[in-house]
Every structure is written in C-alpha cells, then in structure tokens.
Amino acid sequence: MPFDDWSWGGATGGRSPRHHPRLPKYERFTVQHRITRADAEHPEIVDRVRDKLVDQVQRWCDANGYHPGGGDWESSMDGAFDTVIIRLTTAITPRMDGEWPAIRQAIAEDEADRKAAADSKTTVGDRLDALAESVAVWTARTPAEVREALTEA
C-alpha cells in the first residue's frame, strides 16, 4: 500500500521539526469510511477502503497545498448501525514551494480583511440601524414639513 511508504518526516526527511525551525509544525487531517461488519471480515475489501482513504488524503493535500506525512489507522465498531468505521489520521505540513506561499498570504490577507470588516462600524447591521433611525425621523414629520425639507435640498 502506498501509505506505508510515507514517513512522519514529511518535508523534513524524517528529522524532528526542531532541526528545521523554519518548517511549520504538523497538523492533522482525518478521513474515515464505514463498512458493514461482514465486509470488515474480508481483507481485500478493507485494503480497498484503505487505498481509497489514502487517495482522499493525497487529493485533499494536492488541492490545498499540503504534504502528507505518516498516519495512524484506527478501526472501531458502531454497534448501533452494525458497521465498522475505518479512520486514517494523517500528519500534514503546508507546502512552501511554487505558488503556495503567495496563496497562503492572500488567504491570510483576505481573513484579515473579513475580520476588519466585521469589527468596523460600517457593517450591514449598523447601516440598517442608521437607515431605520432616518426613517423614524422622516415619519415623525408632517407632510408639509417633508415637502419643505425636500425643496430646500
């Protein structure tokens, strides 16, 4: 199985991250699949499920700019549904090659912009409150006062 050849080292080649202080710490990514208890008794079915999970991890890593590292397999019984859950938890590290640093910087800037917009006083809710106050002021006026105010403007 291709997963068995992966090492926990990821981009570090098996060395501890402390030997490479510029490399980011590991993150974890988990995928899982349910099979029936009867299917779990057939090694070829379990191997196909494991291959599928490894492929899912690789596709996710390729699409999101990560390197997959080593992983842990876990199987657990779900008695309520009479199924077996096969779970793969993989160590992943962000890719720092190609365009990924620029993409990560753009994502970080976008998140900062969203946070700033959410924290600012010009949010949609504040603008709606100001509009409601303005409507309240105008509706309190008589038609003659409204006509007079509009002709002055």
Task: Give per-residue pLDDT as tens, 28-38.
Answer: 999 999 999 99
Sign (positive or negative) of CA dihedral 128, 134, 135, 136: positive
Confidence check: pLDDT of 14 > 80:
no
pLDDT in tens, 120-138: 756 666 777 777 777 777 6
Helices within 15-141 (DSSP H only): 43-64, 100-119, 124-139
- Can you give the pTM of this predicted structure? 0.57
Give the closest residue to 86 by CA, choosing from 78, 98, 95.
Answer: 78
- For residues 86 and 33, the answer to whether their CB atoms sit within 8 Å is yes
Per domain, the residue ranges of the chain are 2-96, 105-152
Between CA 133 and CA 140 the distance in angstroms is: 11
Per CATH, domain 2-96 is 1.10.3860: no
